[in-house]
Structure 1
């Protein structure tokens, strides 16, 4: 739980009383690789903090998964479009590795906002960060070609290349795995020419 306290402290000051409230309202959950934090078509019951592991956000379109995001250690996670209004989600969130999260229910989060000294401010900052990332990813999908998206992925997430299958990276970039192989080969050849 120290990772969670530290992450919240980076957003707002946290008193000893606040730590007690956080410890009471968050519970630890484990997700095996392949398990769902949020199955498609269900209501998102939790917001969480990833203390260990890796999660993938995707949507199923005509039987094909379209990955639109990855979250890893020390990041907050939820599908706010389902969690806040408590409506079923068209998206799914799945563990790509055995993962450990600290989760809080919707009701618990409302209590957290009220009971923490800076609870409302913390919530606003987290939502703003999620919103900015979602806009950036959406803009990239519509304005960048697959090679540019892949280059951004390896720049923004150099540590994730070894943790995520090429299939999921290709889905995130918006191409088939064979096309991703060609993109990777082209980038490697350009690096060799520059050396």
Structure 2
């Protein structure tokens, strides 16, 4: 659980008591590559902490898949509408590699938020950071040329380009696979 604990401490330090309480409520799960762990249209009441592997959040519409987010070792992933509003998720979450995850129910995590202020602060800061990142990605897509979007992706997600399909990266960046290939060949 070293990747998860390191990332938790990077976001916001937890007391040993709070960290032990959080970890004790988690259950280890293994998901093979290409497994859909959260299905759009269903309410998933779990939060997934990734110890090993990568996932992508994907929006399905009119026969097209749009990658909206990547999560890797140390990250947390979940169905956003399920977490915040107890409603069906509009996105699916798929494993892109074999994954080892630690899973906790949203209800149990909410109990921990109420019991431990440092866990509540960790959750708040984590969500603030993700919201900021989403905002930057959105602005990048609107304002930056494809080459700069790619360069920012490489800075934000070092090494990820070698672990996921290029078509997922292209869609995430809002460019064609041909444009992405051209940009990469210029490096």
* TM-score, length basis structure 1: 0.86
The secondary structure found in structure 2 opposite 1:170 is: helix
Structure 1, gaps ≥5 residues long:
189-195
- Which residues in structure 2 correspond to 1:43-54 (within 5 Å)? 43-54=43-54
TM-score by length of 2: 0.89
- 1:136 is matched with which residue? 136
175-184 or 31-40, which deviates more? 175-184
Asked if 1:119 is matched to 2:119, the reply is yes
Query: 1:192 matched to which residue of 2?
Result: none
Q: What's the counterpart of residue 67 of structure 1?
A: 67
What SS does the aligned partner of 2:87 have?
coil
Change in 2 beyond 3 A, CA 1:183/1:26: same
Structure 2 CA distance for partners of 1:7 and 1:14, relative to 1, 3 Å: farther
Deviation at 1:34, TM superposition (A): 0.6
Distance 1:14 1:44 in 2: 29
Encode CA deviations 1:78-134: one digit per residue, 9 max, x unaligned: 233331211111111111000111121111111111233522212211111121111
* Partner SS for 1:97: coil
Asked if the contact 1:12–1:121 (Cα under 8 Å) also holds between the matched residues in 2, the reply is no
Name structure 2 gaps, 5 residues minimum: none
SS at 2:37 equivalent: strand
Provide the residue aligned with 1:145 in structure 2. 145
Structure 1 pair 29–96 and aligned structure 2 pair: CA distance change class (3 A): same
Is the partner of 1:118 in helix, strand or coil?
helix
Larger Rg: 1
Give me the whole-angstrom Cα distance separating, in 2, the residues matched to 1:9 and 1:179.
Answer: 38
Change (3 A) 1:156 1:4: closer
| Matching of residue 12 in structure 1 with residue 13 in structure 2 | yes
Distance 2:134 2:82 in 1: 15
* Distance verdict in 2 for CA 1:176–1:157, change over 3 Å: same
> Which moved further from structure 2: 127-136 or 141-150?
141-150
Extract structure 1 runs of 4+ deviating beyond 4 A: none
